Amino acid sequence: MTIHREGYKSIAIGALLFAVINLCSFYFISAHEAWLTGLIFIVTLGLELFLISFFRIPARKQTTGDGLIICPADGKVVVIEEVVDEEYFKDKRLQLSIFMSPANVHQNRNPVSGEVVYSQYHKGKYLVAWHPKSSTENERHSVVIRNGHGDILVKQIAGALARRIVNYLSVGHKVEQSAEMGFIKFGSRVDVLLPPGTTVNVKLNEVVQGGVTVLATWA
């Protein structure tokens, strides 16, 4: 397991606060309320360990395959439905949405190999990630990857806690399947918009892994 570079600053700030809070607790509280000093230590240590865990990148064997569409994020499948995309395609698409809790790995990966033909950041609201309108009204970053099978749109969507979406792709980039696309800090959601008729390989409420689980296969 490694730590994602997006977490270095947050973890360092957390470690500094951990040290300051516990030093103050030891010097000003421990003599009179030793139990409280111990409690503060346990709580702050737990928060720091959670912060480290949030930015973890576990060692995994990535799944690849020309006819496969790989899951871009860890989490739970919360939407499988046909929608009308107003942003890019302007027609019907099959939408699969993955909810990422704060406990999930938050690195996002490319579902397919191909060329980036669209990359756009949108300011927006911070509705809870499972809200039906979060896909179109929340802060988000949309990317379209094109290959010989067709176009796929991937949306990184901020949730009620997420306040920063990181995307490393630009128009013209040639990307590899299961390679890193970006990172979303704290609870969030990722939508994948596929051509109608695409064969879906997951079920509603299924727990999936980014870069590992086969989300769908090309028709």
What is the extent of the structural domain holding 50?
Answer: 2-57
CATH number of the domain enclosing 164: 2.70.70
| 41 and 73 share one domain | no
| 81 and 189 share one domain | yes
pLDDT of residue 31: 80
pLDDT of residue 126: 62
30 is catalytic: no
In whole numbers, what is the pLDDT of the chain averaged over residues? 91
pLDDT of residue 136: 67
Rounded Cα–Cα distance for residues 212 and 106 (Å): 14
| 185 and 140 share one domain | yes
Q: Please give the share of the chain, as a percent, with pLDDT higher than 70.
A: 91
- Reported as a pLDDT band with limits 50, 70 and 90, residue 190 is very high
- Reported as a pLDDT band with limits 50, 70 and 90, residue 182 is very high
- Reported as a pLDDT band with limits 50, 70 and 90, residue 145 is very high
- Least-confidence region, from 30-44, 71-85, 107-121: 30-44
Reading the block at residue 140, the tokens are 């988000």
Give the active site residue among 135, 142, 178, 188: 188
Rounded Cα–Cα distance for residues 131 and 159 (Å): 9
Asked if residue 62 belongs to a domain, the reply is no
